[in-house]
Amino acid sequence: MTRAISPRSRKVRVLATLGPASNTPEMIAALFEAGADAFRVNMSHGDQESKIPMIAAIRGLEKKFGRPTTILADLQGPKLRVGRFAGGRVVLENGATFVLDRDAAPGDETRVQLPHREIFAALEPGARLLLDDGKLVLRVLEHDPDRIVTIVEVGGPLSDSKGLNVPDVVVPMAALTAKDRSDLAFACEQGVDWIALSFVQRPEDLAEARRLIGGKAALLAKIEKPAAIERLEEIVEMCDGVMVARGDLGVELPPQSVPPLQKRIVEVSRRMGRPVVVATQMLESMIKSPTPTRAEVSDVATAIYDGADAIMLSAESAAGDWPIESVAMMNAIGEAVERDPMHGDRVHFTEMRPDPTTADALAEAAKNIARTVSAKAIICFTTSGSTARRVARERPSVPLLVLTPKLETARRLGILWGVHAAHTRDVESFEEMVAKSKRMALRHRIAVAGDSVVVMAGVPFRTPGSTNVLHVVRLVGDELKGYG
């Protein structure tokens, strides 16, 4: 039996990654009840077939809880890796010369294969090469089309197929590998709501993904390369959402550079009206521990105070020992931070200037009116979701109940700040709009008799992009009579 779930008591969304520790229908439902608002399916691990029951289980939540679900498929991207070693592992000594070449023969302490032709042409003497998440550092001495000679600046053990990062140059690689194209087509066939593109370096990287998606899903750009920071606003303009992917960003840049960059990416995304997710190592210790460190809790709280739309769990919920507890902790931190009387002031530290459009002016007015008349919610009628994104950008102090006739729109809004989306029939008239607003406010338990709500819509109805109505209504309390 369907039982509609009330809106979360917090506005920041929680995005949980699924994996071996959380891929059963029972675990996915438990994560949802613990506070997960959306689910990330990582295409880097496992085959496509293993994702089908996982996606079906997420969609199954819609019938169980009477609420649209949100699925983000995260593409692996062009991950760079070295080849294999004769013994599976070597130790590189500080000051030694080490060569990366195109010879497929197993490597040793002096050389190893680098099966990425693009890197050989892009490098310059003096460029750094980082191995195994930055644990080892090589400096380029010289190179030609088949060979890169380096000196080991920071040595250590290196084993087969470890990752390689090239922070000092823009590598002319396609943003989508053959695997990514296959995974993207699969994800679209499965009806996911968001496609996350990894290792974006330039706005042009988003063009092919956008074309292949063909409107079937929204496109999220993962900011994890220094080159992306240089063209951040152009990249944000080209996508539908942004992720601060602090893992690789923290490998290619000094760790102390990441916090100010995180704040900048969040600020730019908010200003440009794109939902922004902060991700990676948020509750890392909860992979093995039932409780996080105080520093991790502070890190999550900082992202919430900065006004991020969503906070994400990676291995904590995908492969850790405490997936439900990790989600519950994210939920608890969100609720505690948003109860802070200073939360609203801190979220609005980033000034949002509305664009000179009717829809933006009404979104800002809706936030102000809701505060002035102590309304319990803003109710937004939308087809494409653009009106909801405009209102969420203002970070109103009350929940945003979004009513849409398009299930795809309701699902995509699951990572948007403060949004509780409902899939419902469209309205035909102003009177029907008012009546439905009251009924849905009661049905979703966001208001009771005597409460006011602010309603936004567009006239003529059923016309995307026509938002031009702002109306305040008061509930009597008997609006559900005769509706079951």
Q: Where are the alpha helices (DSSP H) in 308-429?
A: 315-318, 323-339, 343-347, 358-372, 386-393, 407-412
Q: How is residue 39 written in tokens?
A: 């689910």
Give me the catalytic one of 70, 150, 280, 387. Answer: 280
With a CB cutoff of 8 Å and minimum separation 6, the contacts of 178 are none
What's the DSSP call for residue 109? Answer: S
Give me the catalytic one of 13, 51, 162, 222. Answer: 222
Nearest by Cα to 20 from 4, 3, 42:
42
| 40 catalytic per annotation | yes
What's the DSSP call for residue 444? Answer: T
Cα separation of 456 and 396, whole Å? 14
- Interhelix angle 358-372/386-393, rounded to 10 degrees, is 50
Give me the catalytic one of 40, 128, 225, 367. Answer: 40
**β-strand pairing of 164-165 with 128-131:** antiparallel
| 51 catalytic per annotation | no
What are the phi and psi torsion angles at 195 (to 5°)?
-115, 125
Q: Where are the alpha helices (DSSP H) in 306-357?
A: 315-318, 323-339, 343-347
b or e along 150-169 (b: 16 or more beta carbons within 10 Å of the residue's beta carbon)?
bebeebeebebebebbbbbe
| 111 catalytic per annotation | no
| 439 catalytic per annotation | no
Cα separation of 470 and 381, whole Å? 11
Give me the catalytic one of 59, 64, 79, 81. Answer: 81
The vertex-219 CA angle with 213 and 457, nearest 5°, equals: 105
Q: Report CA 233 to chain centroid distance, whole Å.
A: 17
The vertex-409 CA angle with 406 and 413, nearest 5°, equals: 145
* Cβ 465 vs Cβ 386: under 8 Å: yes
Active site residues: 40, 81, 222, 280
